[in-house]
Structure 1
Amino acid sequence: MGEMTERLLRADLSLWPQGSVANNRLGWLRLPNTTEAELRDLFAMANTIDQHSVIYVGMGGSSLGAMTMAQMKKRSGPQNGRNVIFVDSTHPNFIASLPTTDTAVVLASKSGTTTEVDTIFDFFWARMKDPSRFLVITDKDSPLEKKADERGVRRIVTTPSDVGGRYSVLTGFGTVALALLSVSMEDMAAPFTGARGADLDHAEEVALNIFNQISQGRDRLSIYSPKDLDKVPMWLEQLIAESLGKQNKGIVPLPFDDNKEALDRVSGYIEAETLHELGAKFFEWEVITALLGSLLQIDPFNEPDVAAAKAATKSILESGQFLDEPGVDISQIDRSLEAILTERDYVALGGFLNPDRYEEGLTVRDQLENKFTPHAVTYGLGPRFLHSTGQLHKGGPNTVVMAQVVESTKYEHVPIPDRNYGFAELFRAQADGDLQTLRSRGRRALRFKS
């Protein structure tokens, strides 16, 4: 085993700069040894849920790991027939369309203070008010745990406080979703046996290679996986972007990149055909990311720039002062970007759109990539990306050009209980807050309307 990996496994805090939060963020190293009893408890709990549909609400690492687990489970073996709907948007029309009949709701938030999760919890509680149909995943003693306890929800799954959200896929944030779809304990145990057998020598080699490539100016990581496992690159994107995009350093992860031969690219292929193999890749890439933080001399466990956009959103909602900026028509996006792109830039396409329009955003991304090759183009759906690549956009290399896309259609009025704003106002404030924060950090940020 390599020297850096040995130091990591013994929790040597000197790997990272003084003042890092690593002393309370290394609990993920013990997660491969999660006991069968813990997994059996979650599996038994999931089997007591009578509802056919389960809405799983979470943002960033609290949901992307769960999505990845669920996608692999559906791909690699039989399921129990339950329909799991992942929700990581506050778009009012989308929220209003979600089912409430024959439906259970899972609320997932590490901190227990995630605005999206808290407001959607209150929305469904006002409509259902059946504690047996609610499950909560959060850290012990969080505000969300307190609210869930007061409401008497069916189950509160507490997660280790020394595991950050983006490293939490092998906690309840990943395993509850797996339990909801699994038909056997073998399914539940597979990612953990895989993680215990992860190739950590290879992980250190990958970290050193990526660091050497960054040193030579190749700071874009093209991420590939089998086409029917598109959630795997999205999970890795948030892990790398939020962990390493700070202090004007980092590497730009590019899921589904079509220009892997470009001079600024490093290629990373994640091959996993089973839950066992997926568990190994989860742990290997967490190790790779932690080691890259050491090599780059940044703290891979904090997210110093994420809070700024949250604060801007809160300020807008409290003041009612939204941006008077409807945006340039999307038909002009090529011309607008052409005027400001420089040689080392990449485009971050941020779509504050109804999730039902996700594919439309992908089409725009592909068109931009074809137009501006070899410039990289990333795509994220808001507010999801605020909890993943948002840190990179604000704290990583200032080579990003944000192209925010908002809708010109009118939103439905969907009230949020006990708030003086609804989901339409929240969604709009999140878009405005992100734009304001990017510009305050000296980032080039444009708005387009679709």
Structure 2
Amino acid sequence: MSFDIRVSGHVKAVVEDTLPGLVADLVASGVTAQDPTLWGPAAEAEAARRLGWVQAVSVSRPLVAQIAELRAQFVAQGLTRVVLAGMGGSSLAPEVIARTAGVPLTILDATAPGQVLAALDGDEEGGLAQTVLVVSSKSGSTVETDSAKRAFEAAFRDLGIDPAERIVVVTDPGSPLDESAQADGYRVFHADPTVGGRYSALTAFGLVPAGLAGVDLDELLDEADATLLEVAIDSPENPALVLAAAIAGGSPRRDKLGLVADGTHLQGLPDWIEQLLAESTGKAGTGILPVVLLPVSPELERRPEDLQILRIVDEAAEFHLFGRHEGEILVSGSLAAQFVVWEYATAIAGRVLGIDPFDQPDVEAAKAATRGLLERRPDQPAPAFTADGVEVRVSDPALAASGTIAGALDALWSQLGPEGYVAIQAYVDRVHLPELAGLREMVAADSGRPTTFGWGPRFLHSTGQFHKGGPAVGVFLQITERTDIDVAIPGRPFTFAELVAAQAAGDAAVLADLGRPVVTLTLTDPQPEVLSLFEAAQ
């Protein structure tokens, strides 16, 4: 088998209880046959136009030669640096593919001006003169991607370079981006419109940027092809059925899934799984919350009863024999096999949960709030208080009553119930503040509850759906920054600094309107000792 899954203890009992019904109902073959009735009448219309991913391998085969030919042309011109501007499903899969293959691919899925400048200026692989930009957007109207495209177009022209020679577009046929790109003479790869963004790993969205960066796409698709036979069979051995039962079954259900990459050669896979699961299942007050963990994270020592651990390893059978991971889910397999099995399992988990795994009804709320703030340009509300160069704003004055950062955090943790979780949302330049990701471990230890970490606005296209549409049990810690660095967005009346500020404020407002507690910490020091601030606050 190209994918192996092992379960034990509690989760084995859950699988044994849930799996027979999935087999009897012919769910696996139904997904393969693109049966839109599997998720109930309310989801049928959406499912009918979102199941093209089960045929992605055969549909994508003709793209491989086209991508290889274009890459050869670029390499012959000395264009060796590939930058991908895309959000969510348009960037997470190619990032995992490239990292696992050891191929350089610069990802721009941010609006922090410092990060935009870093992508424009280049890195060790070369500067803008050696750069090809892939602009990837299913809808063709994603504000982050459009803004990046505009910035790169202007930068290319400043160097005397025709953007049409350097920009490659991936989008659905007939999208606004497709129409403008065709008019401007850009190279355009059309994606399959019957595939939703988060299920698009093996479509043009995953393959074009990865292939242009130098990944062997034939090998990737061959691995996926081998796995398709395994997941289509209505059998208790079907790994997708077992995985779906393990993550979505049980009563009471463990609705938080701790994802641990433990010695695997696959790089960054939990981040891709996080988006697929959270955006697909986090709605109608239910869902599965992925929590990306380290092998030494606090949640593995003090395991909450509502947290199921899933460990990604290179040999699941070998780990299983050790017997040290009782009650966990162990999975192994090639990257393409992981893509196929997780897509099937997520869709099937949606059936188990009784929701539509293909829509994202709450994602638009933050986008609308951002647009409103950019149009009105209201003054930022005064902070509740300022301490150690950090401005503190809160959704409820009671959260700031202590007048200290430590007190505000304690007040936020006090809002956690027995099924609660903490979401850290960092709207900062992660190129220059990568250490901020270490805050997740500190908060998990301090709060005693599962903790997610998301770079903003990237997470809005991932766990953002769960935070608004899933169970109302989360508390939210926003980190923003004030910086003198800014980048203009040609043709727009706002800059990148104004855009990222509006995205943070807009999302905080939507969360507050839904009754979710929010504490926003704005870093005003240009060189903050971020982690030391939180160490002092604990």
1:428 paired with 2:501, answer yes
Partner of 1:86: 107
Conserved? CA contact 2:427–2:478, under 8 Å: yes
* Aligned mates of 1:108, 1:252 — CA distance in 2: 26
1:314 paired with 2:371, answer yes
1:193 paired with 2:230, answer no
Partner of 2:528: none
C-alpha change, 1:108 and 1:330, in structure 2 (3 Å) is farther
Conserved? CA contact 1:73–1:181, under 8 Å: no
C-alpha change, 1:185 and 1:127, in structure 2 (3 Å) is closer
Deviations 1:237-278 (A, max 9, x none): 0000000000110011011153244311112233459x9811
1:142 maps to which of 175, 184, 187: 175
Number of matched residues? 438
* Aligned mates of 1:35, 1:137 — CA distance in 2: 13
* Aligned mates of 1:122, 1:62 — CA distance in 2: 18
2:154 maps to which of 119, 123, 126: 126
Conserved? CA contact 2:422–2:474, under 8 Å: yes
Task: Determine helix, strand or coil for the equivalent of 1:246.
Answer: coil
Partner of 2:272: 235
- Aligned-pair distance for 1:113? 0.7
Partner of 1:279: 336
Conserved? CA contact 1:139–1:159, under 8 Å: yes
- Aligned-pair distance for 1:12? 2.1
Structure 1: 5+ residue runs without aligned partners? none
* Aligned mates of 2:81, 2:205 — CA distance in 1: 18
Partner of 1:383: 457
C-alpha change, 1:39 and 1:330, in structure 2 (3 Å) is farther
C-alpha change, 1:164 and 1:358, in structure 2 (3 Å) is farther
Conserved? CA contact 1:43–1:179, under 8 Å: yes
2:191 maps to which of 150, 159, 169: 159
* Aligned mates of 1:368, 1:387 — CA distance in 2: 23
Conserved? CA contact 1:322–1:432, under 8 Å: no
1:361 paired with 2:433, answer no
Conserved? CA contact 1:194–1:279, under 8 Å: no
Partner of 2:27: 4
Conserved? CA contact 1:362–1:379, under 8 Å: yes
Matched residue type, 1:126: A
Cα RMSD after superposing both structures: 2.2
Deviations 1:369-417 (A, max 9, x none): 12222x101000000000000000000011111111111x324231111
Task: Determine helix, strand or coil for the equivalent of 2:129.
Answer: coil
* Aligned mates of 1:330, 1:110 — CA distance in 2: 41
After superposition, where does 1:33-432 map in structure 2 within 5 Å? 33-34=58-59, 36-49=61-74, 50=77, 51-74=79-102, 83-97=104-118, 98-99=120-121, 100-129=128-157, 130=162, 131-153=164-186, 155-182=187-214, 184=216, 186-199=218-231, 201-213=238-250, 215-226=251-262, 229-256=266-293, 258=297, 259-260=299-300, 261-271=303-313, 277-326=334-383, 327-328=391-392, 334-357=409-432, 359-373=434-448, 375-407=449-481, 409-432=482-505
TM-score (norm 2): 0.77
Matched residue type, 1:138: T
Conserved? CA contact 1:46–1:176, under 8 Å: no
Matched residue type, 1:427: V
Conserved? CA contact 1:223–1:254, under 8 Å: yes
* Aligned mates of 2:354, 2:287 — CA distance in 1: 10
- Aligned-pair distance for 1:195? 3.9
Moved more, 289-298 or 172-181: 172-181
- Aligned-pair distance for 1:421? 0.9
Matched residue type, 1:240: L
Matched residue type, 1:350: Q
Structure 2: 5+ residue runs without aligned partners? 1-21, 122-127, 233-237, 316-331, 384-390, 393-403, 524-538
C-alpha change, 1:198 and 1:63, in structure 2 (3 Å) is farther
C-alpha change, 1:182 and 1:198, in structure 2 (3 Å) is farther
C-alpha change, 1:316 and 1:369, in structure 2 (3 Å) is same
C-alpha change, 1:60 and 1:104, in structure 2 (3 Å) is same
Return the index of the structure with the highest Cα Rg: 2
Moved more, 44-53 or 247-256: 44-53
Conserved? CA contact 2:248–2:288, under 8 Å: no
* Aligned mates of 1:265, 1:184 — CA distance in 2: 37
Conserved? CA contact 1:92–1:412, under 8 Å: yes
* Aligned mates of 2:81, 2:431 — CA distance in 1: 18
* Aligned mates of 1:311, 1:183 — CA distance in 2: 37
Matched residue type, 1:249: T
Task: Determine helix, strand or coil for the equivalent of 2:453.
Answer: strand
Conserved? CA contact 2:95–2:105, under 8 Å: no
Matched residue type, 1:182: G
Deviations 1:67-108 (A, max 9, x none): 01111111xxxx5xxx42111001112212322222111100
Matched residue type, 1:211: A
Matched residue type, 1:300: P
Conserved? CA contact 2:150–2:490, under 8 Å: yes
Conserved? CA contact 1:33–1:192, under 8 Å: no
Conserved? CA contact 1:322–1:429, under 8 Å: no
Matched residue type, 1:406: T
C-alpha change, 1:198 and 1:354, in structure 2 (3 Å) is farther
Conserved? CA contact 2:202–2:221, under 8 Å: no
Task: Determine helix, strand or coil for the equivalent of 1:253.
Answer: strand
TM-score (norm 1): 0.92
* Aligned mates of 1:185, 1:63 — CA distance in 2: 16
